Amino acid sequence: GAVVSQHPSWVICKSGTSVKIECRSLDFQATTMFWYRQFPKQSLMLMATSNEGSKATYEQGVEKDKFLINHASLTLSTLTVTSAHPEDSSFYICSAGGLAGGPWREQFFGPGTRLTVL
Amino acid sequence: DQQVKQNSPSLSVQEGRISILNCDYTNSMFDYFLWYKKYPAEGPTFLISISSIKDKNEDGRFTVFLNKSAKHLSLHIVPSQPGDSAVYFCAAMETSGSRLTFGEGTQLTVNP
């Protein structure tokens, strides 16, 4: 149980284009989903927290107009990187937490999406 | 401001021996701590957690110790196996929140 999927797993795009990454909780409904970014040999940095049906809460320094988050249901959240630039190249990981009746303080992570912007 | 720190970027141990990974934190509002294991190009996998009301939690080969007064926790793996080779992250959560703050990670290598 508690499986989280991400799609795509790897994407290459041209500078200036937008890329959408999907995060799905496959066998549970998560009240909260989180988006992280990890640069090589660095820690996971939280970008934003989203609750189903409400606006995402962004961490300091993360541009909300550049990283659009939509959390349309309890099983799906999307991150859209708009007008991507090479410095946005990174490993993006989502997680889901707040399992109803479950270990609500644990987060279950997706496999990540490698974004390369040329 | 790095609120969760893992000061050892790497650790190498022999198969069968104990691996001890350390983590320090500065935020006194943290009351729940987790360890995750991560392979390259994959998402972190939850290993074990501990609440601040406890000082030890054990699950099979994995034991986490918490020293609140020192704001220090450690993960013990015994016996270590080559398949344990990965990056280990400690993470912390505040009482009232749900966001995780991660340390920088420690690359564990278990040699056969």
- Which residues of chain B make contact with A45, given a CB cutoff of 8 A? 102
Run means of pLDDT, 10 residues per run, chain A, 118 residues = 88 96 88 89 88 87 93 90 95 80 69 94
Contact of A109 with B43, CB cutoff 8 Å: yes
Bridge partners (DSSP) of residue A32 are A51, A97
3 state DSSP class of B25: strand
φ, ψ for residue B82, nearest 5 deg = -55, -35
- pLDDT (tens, 9 = 90+) of chain B, 112 residues, equals 789 999 999 999 999 999 999 999 999 999 999 999 999 888 899 899 999 999 999 999 999 999 999 999 999 999 999 999 999 999 998 877 778 899 999 999 999 9
Using an 8 Å Cβ cutoff, are B80 and B15 in contact?
Answer: yes
Residues 6+ positions from A63 with CB-CB distance below 8 Å: none
Which chain A residues are within 8 Å of B1, Cβ to Cβ?
none
From chain A residues 64-83, the ones with a CB under 8 A of any chain B CB are: none
B17-44 confidence digits (pLDDT tens): 999 999 999 999 999 999 999 998 888 9
Secondary-structure breakdown of chain A: helix, strand, coil percentages, each rounded to the nearest 5: 5, 55, 40
List the one residue out of B87, B84, B81 whose CA is nearest residue B36: B87
| Residue in B closest to A57 by C-alpha | B99
Nearest chain B CA: its distance from A1 CA (Å): 13
Which of B32, B36, B102 has the highest number of chain A CBs within 10 A, making it the mutation to test binding with A? Answer: B102
**Which chain B residues contact residue A110 at CB under 8 A?**
43
CB-CB neighbors (< 8 A) of B105 in chain A: 43
Dist CA A30 CA A76 (whole Å): 9
